[in-house]
Amino acid sequence: MAGYLTTHVLDTARGCPAEGLKIELFALVGEGRKLLKTLVTNEDGRTDAQILPSEEFAVGTYELVFHAGDYLTATGVPPEAPRFLDVIPLRFGMSEQSHYHVPLLLSPFGYSTYRGS
């Protein structure tokens, strides 16, 4: 089985998928990081394509960066100065050729994640 990476962002405060949320994927190499791609969630809170499809997949350490502040502003959540949650980095390792699903459950004052299926 070839590995690949997906995500799903749910707005738990509004009870719906988080549409229009910008996500960046970085590969971490040593002390540095390399931007691999930038995507935006669709009406289902997912990206239109796999974030890291099997032909681009490699084991290693990665970081998904969710631009929650811009999304919250766009949905009408009044901004604090500074916003409590703005940019959410999730750093994780992928150690085998498998499906890695890294969802984000988001509200203006909290978030959670897990390795999904």
Q: What is the pLDDT of residues 75-117, one digit of tens each?
A: 999 989 999 999 999 999 999 999 999 999 999 999 999 999 8
For the chain, what is the mean pLDDT?
A: 96
Classify domain 4-108 by CATH number.
Answer: 2.60.40.180
Q: 73 is written with which tokens?
A: 């502003």
Q: How confident is the model at residue 65 (pLDDT cuts 50, 70, 90)?
A: very high
Per-residue model confidence (pLDDT) at position 79: 86
Cα 24 from Cα 35, distance rounded (Å): 7
Domain ranges of the chain: 4-108
Cα 39 from Cα 37, distance rounded (Å): 7
* pTM, two decimal places: 0.96
Residues with Cβ within 8 Å of 62's Cβ and at least 6 positions away in sequence, in order, are: 5, 25, 26, 27, 28, 52, 91, 92, 93, 94
